[in-house]
Structure 1
């Protein structure tokens, strides 16, 4: 059974389906290379932050012990000079100056002995009890004065700026690393769409393996362009060589008729020649589509339909124009071939042409041919345009010897012009087969 592009075989989930959040996460992770690089760099930043935070937490006890020992040292030094006011004041002022603190020293009764700077606004940052031999001498409290300490928002702001800078750098780095792959992917898509002159120019990104890959791609594209050019030349030569003997055969058939040869044999030979000529025309049109040789220009749908009726020998009264604007843009030769194939199909397999109509279908310009046959059997509307499909023995009345390339070519021509084909039964009997075109060109002027 053929599965669509979105089919999952579903390992580990019943029915082959994953929960919507998981599917969304997987599609995001499996996105472009630059996105995956960006995610990896972001993940490494988070992991680094986690490791640093864990290390700081584990070593925080040591820092607190060191801070406690420093407080104890300061209290002992202050106790040594407590009885000498001059030395005590000098030590306090030196500590306040070096550590950018406002210090206040009180005796055991709470009387202020010395204050450097302004009193603490609220609770002090820390308080040191000053003791000697178990006797309380006093206390020293300290706090950061106005303008001396860092604002409390500076540390978080620094972290935010650092993380934002690393994040932007990681995005730039991911884009730079993925840029060559993006250029190669665009070139491969362009080459696959038929622009054979596509080449990759990585510029300053041409380093290492990317330069080797770009060079290999350019060599491959050059070989493909050269081979396709050779095939186009061969096709032009073969088409000329085929059409020339066919024209000679037609002349010989007319000479045989003029000489009084059997009319029945002449008619059979002429039918075979016309069949060969039609087959060669269809093969050449298919080749033009394969090579992407479409010559687009502004056309008039009514004129195209008129020429198709004249080419097939049908009366112009069969043309019905049901739209006011018949402008279109496309390849006149290929569109003419598509209309001729529709008319030949209705005349040969639909028991005659009822009308060739120009109408609007789903907001687009459409050509359709109506026949007076028995109509299409159920299920054949979609298969009618398959290559080499001859239809059922009953219904369309296709001849056993037909290759079934005519309507398949119509579908290819329609798709090359941005449209599609359709087939349906008419309420009054017979079938309606046609094709739509892409968006119309804007009005001139």
Structure 2
């Protein structure tokens, strides 16, 4: 027996798995891009740093040689300092070997960004100090903003890739949920964006769905044919018993034969009703509860006076055949286990329209209020539960029909003695009629 909320739970589970998979792919792609960026930056820093140091060393050597050439000529030396300071927009200080200031351009350079010793033939002539960072505009966003924009673009790209990879899984989950809900015609169409593996999985799913749909159709046709073939000989047997009865046959034997034929006909009716629920063949249309009750009493040979409509509004939408089978099973249950039906009532039950049958029996044992609706549960004449003899599908089928019409089966002991067994339906029509396999 499937839980009535099975497709809903499957959908929730599918959304959870899909969202979790999307997050995992998104995070893994993002981390992969981040790690790759860090590795590239590290390698470039190592390679570029070595090259930068070499270039700086060449510049230091060049500056030292230029100053060594003009060191003995103060005019040319001072002109060189002024020219470099003006052309490169830096503050320079030129000091002798005793660290005495010879010339300065710009502000004092107490913490030089670059110090170049002036050396000629191994003799230290002095030192050049350069301060250039304080003359440069310092805007950290100029370096941070490009990095942030680059990271955002890469992160968005990882999200797009994750969505592209999980979209086929989303389609597969939706298709599986629809198939589980009874929509056997469901197929998966992934489109050109699906990867090879997902395409193979979608093709396998479609093949499976097609086989299930074909098998269910074959079973439906088989049940229809078997029911027709079974009911035809049953009808003939009833005609033959009437002929034998008119011809002077043993009335007791013929009564037994009639009873067995009726039992077989009822069993075939229950199996057909169950198969209609299994295959989702529920046909709702506007009905009147009083007409359904009167017809059920007429078919079972009970007086119409047993019908009592206590509900003010008896209009509903449902499947007349299935509801008629449920009412017949209630009346038959009262006959078998309650020494006959005392009343068929149409009442309000928990805000729904309900049919219930009051019997004249000893009532229900503790715990039987729910057990009697279990498949294969029945009671013998001594009141003991056992699982042999008849199939015991009558009240279980009542529960399935009630759930297919948005209601529920119920049972309780009456204050004056006896039991009340019934089922409820929604007046406005079932919100979701039972699909294949609904319990």
**Structure 1 and Structure 2 fold alike (TM over 0.5):** yes
The equivalent of 2:331 in structure 1 is: 343
2:32 is the counterpart of 1:38: no
Q: Distance in 1 between matches of 2:239 and 2:64?
A: 128
The equivalent of 2:87 in structure 1 is: 94
Q: Distance in 2 between matches of 1:400 and 1:67?
A: 99
- Out of 225, 231, 234, the residue aligned to residue 246 of structure 1 is 234
- Out of 322, 345, 349, the residue aligned to residue 334 of structure 1 is 322
The equivalent of 2:200 in structure 1 is: 212
Cα distance, 1:237 vs structure 2: 1.9
2:166 is the counterpart of 1:173: no
2:356 is the counterpart of 1:368: yes
The equivalent of 2:245 in structure 1 is: 257
Q: Distance in 1 between matches of 2:16 and 2:262?
A: 58
Q: Distance in 2 between matches of 1:290 and 1:164?
A: 53
2:254 is the counterpart of 1:266: yes
Over the aligned positions, Cα root-mean-square deviation in angstroms equals 3.8
Structure 2 gaps of 5+ residues are 1-14, 431-439
Structure 1 residues 309 and 28 mapped into 2: Cα distance closer, same or farther (>3 Å)? Answer: closer
Structure 1 residues 71 and 324 mapped into 2: Cα distance closer, same or farther (>3 Å)? Answer: farther
Deviations 1:111-144 (A, max 9, x none): 98545xxx89xx9995445665667667432236
2:130 is the counterpart of 1:140: yes
C-alpha contact (below 8 Å) 1:75/1:130 kept by paired residues: yes
C-alpha contact (below 8 Å) 2:376/2:387 kept by paired residues: no
TM-score scaled by length of structure 1 = 0.76
Q: Distance in 1 between matches of 2:278 and 2:157?
A: 46
The equivalent of 1:312 in structure 2 is: 300
Q: Distance in 2 between matches of 1:249 and 1:180?
A: 58
Cα distance, 1:406 vs structure 2: 0.7
Structure 1 gaps of 5+ residues are 1-26, 97-102
Cα distance, 1:404 vs structure 2: 0.6
Q: Alignment length, in residue pairs?
A: 403
C-alpha contact (below 8 Å) 1:366/1:434 kept by paired residues: yes
Q: State the SS of the aligned residue for 1:213.
A: helix
Q: Distance in 1 between matches of 2:360 and 2:30?
A: 69
TM-score scaled by length of structure 2 = 0.77
Between stretches 229-238 and 405-414, larger displacement belongs to 229-238
Structure 1 residues 143 and 36 mapped into 2: Cα distance closer, same or farther (>3 Å)? Answer: closer
Q: State the SS of the aligned residue for 1:203.
A: coil
C-alpha contact (below 8 Å) 1:30/1:36 kept by paired residues: no
- Structure scoring higher RCO (CA < 8 A, sep ≥ 6) equals 2
Structure 1 residues 271 and 46 mapped into 2: Cα distance closer, same or farther (>3 Å)? Answer: same
